[in-house]
């Protein structure tokens, strides 16, 4: 391929990836895919996976293009599906539309698809090219791949801290450490995840709604609370809105039957998980969420839940919002006990972005995959 052709492919794939991100948080358990159709240098169709996981991106783009799809190149951010689910395979739609070439960065690791979509396209005489923007696509689809390959969702942890790493005063006051711009950024992050999760202590202390507000999302994230004993107030916002927006409670064994019945009566879903060290096991917790179809979970603390995920090396991305306020040693620390005795054993992450949100700093860190 010529350099000009490669650059054109990259530009089109950047567009397709941007479209795919519009579906983040809306499409689980399906991946958030984007698709752009280009014919003779002109975009004739585009689409992305719709809320609930269907229609798929390819069929959206083909519907827009109509007859102009014949002879076009389809830029798709993941291998087109080749299996019959609730909708026919996307490869059949691409073949029937007369697509001449398909460019996709990655194969789908779902065993129902993996390589079969590409094979069927090639068998139909369609040119297939892979690898374009593969590193970016891998990040975008990380949650989908993690659920398929490891049974757990991608985990984003958010911490809103004072300059000295506190999340509340000694009396528990925490609203608001960061300013309005940072809080808007947090709502945007919530919107790009399938679920928002907090620990039981945070649910009791803050009575949060855990919804996305001000962005007009089609599908609110699931609200998840990790609470060993189900001791979250039944008159709180989460309980009283559980029939309108899903509430899932991850709890340990041996909870009181009447408490469990009360929560189920309010419309909540109860997910029992194992204990480890007297607390809910973080790995089993994520396995339970993955089994329910979640691919991306946004954890907002508190400190002990955040520490347990970090200690178990289960935080894939960390967003830290730091405000210009100092609360002192008597304030509540942003992280619970980690049990770190040597610096060499402390969790370490890699800084990938830094920005300013109003008067607050926003740092993005990712888990290290090797040194």
CA 313 to the chain's CA centroid: 17
Phi-psi region of 11 (alpha: psi -120 to 50; beta: other; left: phi over 0): alpha
* Full DSSP string of 288-300: HHHHTT--EEEE-
**How far is residue 102's CA from residue 45's CA, in Å, rounded to a whole number?**
14
What does DSSP say about strands 101-104 and 154-161: parallel, antiparallel, or unpaired? unpaired
Q: In what order do the strands lie in the sheet with 73-76?
A: 42-48, 34-39, 73-76, 101-104, 127-130
Q: Where are the beta strands (DSSP E) in 202-251?
A: 222-226, 247-251
Burial pattern 123-153, b for ≥16 Cβ within 10 A else e, equals eeebebbeebbeeebeebbbbbbbbbeeebb
Half-sphere exposure in the Cβ direction for 8 (13 Å, CA): 14
**How far is residue 124's CA from residue 127's CA, in Å, rounded to a whole number?**
9
Close Cβ partners of 261 (under 8 Å, ≥ 6 residues apart): none
**How far is residue 285's CA from residue 282's CA, in Å, rounded to a whole number?**
5
In the set 7, 40, 58, 129, the catalytic residue is: 58
**Unique residue bearing structure tokens 């911490």:** 159
Active site residue 58: yes
**Unique residue bearing structure tokens 């347990």:** 308
Number of neighbouring beta carbons within 10 Å of residue 107:
16
Cite the active site residues: 58
């Amino acid at each position: 391929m010529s350099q000009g052709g490669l650059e054109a492919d990259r530009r089109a794939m950047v567009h397709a990836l941007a479209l795919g991100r519009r579906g983040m948080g809306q499409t689980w358990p399906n991946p958030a895919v984007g698709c752009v159709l280009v014919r003779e240098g002109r975009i004739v169709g585009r689409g992305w996976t719709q809320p609930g996981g269907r229609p798929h991106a390819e069929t959206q783009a083909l519907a827009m293009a109509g007859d102009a799809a014949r002879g076009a190149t389809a830029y798709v951010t993941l291998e087109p599906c080749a299996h019959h689910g609730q909708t026919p395979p996307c490869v059949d739609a691409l073949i029937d539309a007369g697509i001449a070439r398909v460019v996709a960065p990655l194969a789908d690791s779902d065993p129902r698809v993996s390589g079969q979509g590409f094979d069927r396209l090639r068998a139909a005489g369609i040119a297939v090219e892979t690898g374009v923007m593969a590193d970016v696509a891998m990040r975008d689809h990380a949650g989908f791949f993690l659920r398929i390959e490891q049974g757990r969702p991608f985990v984003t942890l958010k911490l809103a801290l004072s300059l000295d790493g506190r999340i509340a005063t000694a009396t528990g006051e925490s609203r608001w450490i960061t300013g309005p711009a940072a809080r808007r950024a947090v709502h945007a992050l919530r919107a790009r995840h399938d679920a928002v999760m907090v620990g039981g202590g945070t649910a009791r202390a803050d009575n949060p709604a855990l919804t996305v507000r001000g962005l007009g999302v089609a599908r609110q994230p699931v609200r998840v609370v990790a609470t060993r004993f189900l001791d979250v107030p039944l008159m709180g916002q989460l309980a009283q809105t559980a029939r309108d927006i899903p509430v899932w409670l991850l709890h340990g064994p041996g909870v009181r039957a009447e408490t469990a019945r009360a929560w189920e009566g309010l419309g909540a879903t109860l997910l029992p998980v194992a204990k480890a060290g007297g607390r809910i096991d973080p790995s089993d917790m994520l396995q339970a969420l993955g089994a329910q179809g979640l691919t991306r979970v946004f954890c907002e603390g508190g400190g002990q839940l955040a520490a347990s995920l970090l200690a178990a090396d289960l935080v894939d991305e960390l967003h830290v919002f730091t405000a210009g306020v100092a609360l002192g040693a008597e304030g509540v620390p942003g992280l619970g006990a980690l049990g770190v005795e040597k610096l060499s054993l402390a969790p370490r992450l890699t800084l990938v972005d830094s920005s300013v949100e109003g008067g607050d700093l926003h740092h993005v860190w990712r888990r290290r995959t090797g040194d």
